[in-house]
Amino acid sequence: MKTFWLKLLILCLLTLSFIFPFSTQVQASPTDNKCPEGMVFIPGGIFNIGSDTNYESEKSASDVTVDSFCMDRHEVTNAEFRQFVEATDYKTIAERPLSKEQFPTLREEQRQPGSLVFQPPEEGIQQVAYLSWWHWTVGANWQHPYGPDSNIEGKDNYPVVHIAYDDAVAYANWKGLTIPTEAQWEYAGRGGLKDQEFSWGNQYSAKKANTWQGIFPFLNTKEDGHLGTAPVESFPPNGYGLYDMTGNVWELTSDWYSVGHSGKDNSVNPVGPTKNASFDPKKPSEGALHVIKGGSYLCAKNYCSRYRPAARESQAPDTGTTHVGFRLVATPL
């Protein structure tokens, strides 16, 4: 009887093999998908973009689909950007004189190259005007982040700053890569977690990212060990293996800015509004602006607090600062 049932089982398996042929192909895992060197594979999926618990500018959209992509493991560094400059002789916007077309009322001596630099209030001052900590500094650029007397010697592994949007595009084109959309950036920034406040969970931690501890802009207790930018990969990666998706420097995205995520519900690989439709009511005179993500070392609980995946801010495409950088994405090979 046992032999009979064994023969019957073999006969059934042979019959099924003709009807449903067995496949020797193994289902691909994330590690089977090839990315350019220095990039991490981000498996596609569905998520809710934005948040309804913080700022109106983050108003959410549900069931947003993002296809798989590759993303830089960390922010573009000074060393990486230097390779591009040395290969192409590229000059960033901060290294070029201000144009007469864009600034027709400026005198010639006022057109000197420069950028915006963060300068904390002098010790002992208790109250300052909003945004007065930003100073236009002649000679400030990616090689001289705090002005002509500063440099990046010994900081090859720090994120490059004073990068305007066109500078990031030029670097991306040289690498054959692209700037992430906001949806790609936020999906990757969440690290696979669903509807969590931070990229590591719901509890803020000074040990998880380079942010500002204390009362901004007067006192930084440096609980995270850093006063300004930190070397990339100084803090633990998120669930996808990406470093510094929180804090350190804001990161540029390709999306034009508008308030909230209206129209993105149930969308696939959404992008922001057109350039003509871009508007930030907090900056009505600045025209079209790009979305930046991730917060920076200047984000504190009493100011900004945008060190969350859902958080977003706007940035003029022709402006660099000491707290804005970028990273790139690619299609898996």
pLDDT in tens, the chain (333 residues): 433 333 333 333 333 333 333 222 223 344 557 999 999 999 999 999 999 999 999 999 999 999 999 999 999 999 999 999 999 999 999 999 887 777 778 777 778 999 999 998 876 676 788 888 999 999 999 999 999 999 999 999 999 999 999 999 999 999 999 999 999 999 999 999 998 999 999 999 999 999 999 999 999 999 999 999 999 999 999 999 999 999 999 999 999 999 999 999 999 999 999 999 999 999 999 999 999 999 999 999 999 899 999 999 999 999 999 999 999 999 998
> CA 147, 152, 155, 158 torsion: positive or negative?
positive
In a domain? residue 59: yes
pLDDT for residue 15: 37
Residue 198's SS3 state is strand
pLDDT tens-digit series, residues 203-238: 999 999 999 999 999 999 999 999 999 999 999 999
pLDDT tens-digit series, residues 58-82: 999 999 999 999 999 999 999 999 9
In angstroms and rounded to an integer, the radius of gyration of the C-alpha atoms of the chain is 24
pLDDT for residue 67: 98
Total count of domains within the chain? 1
Distances (CA, A) of 295 to 27, 93, 212, 260: 37, 22, 10, 17
In a domain? residue 27: no
Which structure tokens are listed for 30?
């994330």
In a domain? residue 19: no
Q: Kindly report the CATH number assigned to the domain that includes residue 244.
A: 3.90.1580.10
In a domain? residue 21: no
In a domain? residue 194: yes
Q: Please state the pTM of the whole predicted model.
A: 0.88
Which structure tokens are listed for 8?
């019957």
Write the DSSP assignment of 82-97 as a string of letters. Answer: HHHHHHH----GGGSP
pLDDT for residue 8: 37
In a domain? residue 193: yes
In a domain? residue 18: no
Specify whether the CB–CB gap between 180 and 174 falls below 8 A: no
φ, ψ for residue 103, nearest 5 deg: -130, 70
DSSP conformation class of 210: B
Q: Supply the range of the domain harboring residue 47.
A: 33-333
pLDDT for residue 5: 37
pLDDT for residue 16: 35
Distances (CA, A) of 286 to 111, 203, 252, 302, 315: 19, 35, 17, 25, 9
**Residue in this structure with the two tokens 């929180």, named with its chain if needed:** 246
pLDDT for residue 126: 67
In a domain? residue 2: no
